[in-house]
Amino acid sequence: MQSINKEELKEKLRETKNFLKDERVITANRLKGKIIGILRDFLKEKGFVELLPVVASPVTDPLSSPETTVSFNVYGYPFQLTKSMIFHKQFAMLAFERIFIFSPNFRIEKKEMAKTGRHLVEFTQFDLEVRGATRKEVMELAEEMIIGLVTRIIDEAKDEMEFFERKLKMPIRPFKVVTYSEAYSKFGKDLEARLSQSSEGHIWLIDFPEKIREFYYLEGERTFYLKDFDLIYPEGFGEAISGGKREWRAEKIRERLKRKRINEDLYSPYLIMLEQGIPPSAGFGIGIERLTRFIAGLESVKFCRLFPKLPGEFGL
């Protein structure tokens, strides 16, 4: 393992010290605390149970690129740092009907991602799951949550919003919906960014093709298209949420793994849990740093953590 030399470390930590005294960082993190409180209140009122996060375990979200994984050996068992709590959320449906977690995610994102203003290596998802829910129900829940958050934040974070000179528009329900195929024919590959830049309000992007998505979403009426969604922020802030209805049947997941040419042994703990039976569910995760960035209107998510780890860079 390459270690950082002392002189370089001193310089980096001087930068960290200055960063910790930066008013933008202090204000954004105070704002983030308020956002967290409001989100927690919202779901508690709806009868959700708050769980504590799983930091490492034998199985985690595959995401689209396996190189984002951090693996290590624990008592001879292969463990991974949590990239998202998706599988544990599905398993938790055995215990509770409605759950949420502020879940730390660790992903070794590609170095180029440092420039997007949206990517950190360590970030937090506000992650929820509802047993037996439909995709529509959790999308409606997300809309209500965002409207409720903006309403309270305008009132309860006046100083922070004034500091950032941010005039937030109240989102209007229902949010617009566009299918992935429609967006692709209009905008091509760069659809997330272009949809976000061209949209006045929050917009749902639904029905992703299974080829470009993780294997745990339920297939929709159209073969090879999923009952899933992303929520896209307006003003070019990009993706806010990913979620959908989940597949809960082992044999269906096996078919999907085969089509994706993924070795199913990598997901044995997940498949065995599914074989033993878990309930169907739907849910989503919203990135807290990106949400804070949007509310504050900041150029980068890095201001939304005290100790940001940017892709490819040193971070404390």
Residues lying near Mg ion in the complex (CB under 5 A) are found at 242
CB of 230 to Mg ion, least distance (A): 6
The structure tokens 């040419």 sit at: 261
Q: Please list, in sequence order, all residues whose beta carbon lies within 8 angstroms of the beta carbon of residue 136, skipping any fewer than 6 positions away.
A: none
List of residues contacting ligand AMP (CB under 6 A): 84, 107, 109, 119-120, 123, 125, 239-242, 285-287, 289-290, 301
Query: From the list ligand AMP, Mg ion, none, which binds 84 (C-beta under 5 to 8 Å, kind-based)?
Result: ligand AMP
Pick what 161 binds: ligand AMP, Mg ion, none; C-beta below 5 to 8 Å, kind-dependent: none
The SS3 call for residue 91 is helix
Write the DSSP symbol of residue 266: G
Q: Which is nearer to Mg ion, 234 or 238 (CB)?
A: 238
* Closer residue to ligand AMP, CB minimum distance, 10 or 211: 211
| Identity of the residue, 253 or 301, whose beta carbon is nearer to ligand AMP in the bound complex | 301
Tell me how far apart the alpha carbons of residues 120 and 182 are, in angstroms, rounded to a whole number.
Answer: 30
CB of 63 to ligand AMP, least distance (A): 6
Shortest Å distance, C-beta 15 to Mg ion = 30
CA distance 226 to 280: 15
Question: CB 193 → ligand AMP: shortest distance, Å?
Answer: 14
Q: How far is the CB of 232 from ligand AMP (least distance, A)?
A: 10
For residue 117, give the DSSP letter.
Answer: S
For Mg ion, which is the closer residue by CB, 49 or 63?
63
The greatest distance separating any two alpha carbons of the chain, rounded to the nearest whole angstrom, comes to 59
Determine the residue with CB nearest Mg ion.
242
d(CA 117, CA 53): 25
The secondary structure of the chain in percent helix, strand, coil, rounded to multiples of 5, reads: 45, 20, 35
232 contact, one of ligand AMP, Mg ion, none, CB 5-8 Å limit per kind? none
123 binds, among Mg ion, ligand AMP, none (CB under 5 to 8 A by kind): ligand AMP
Which residues does 82 contact at the CB level (< 8 Å), separation at least 6?
53, 54, 55, 56, 57, 60, 61, 103, 104, 105, 106
Q: Which is nearer to Mg ion, 196 or 242 (CB)?
A: 242
d(CA 271, CA 41): 34
Tokens 């309403």 found at: 151
From the CB of 240, what's the least distance to ligand AMP, in Å? 5
Count CB neighbours of 80 within 10 A: 16
Nearest to ligand AMP by Cβ — which residue? 287
Q: Considering the complex, state which of residue 109 and residue 210 has its C-beta at the smaller distance from ligand AMP.
A: 109
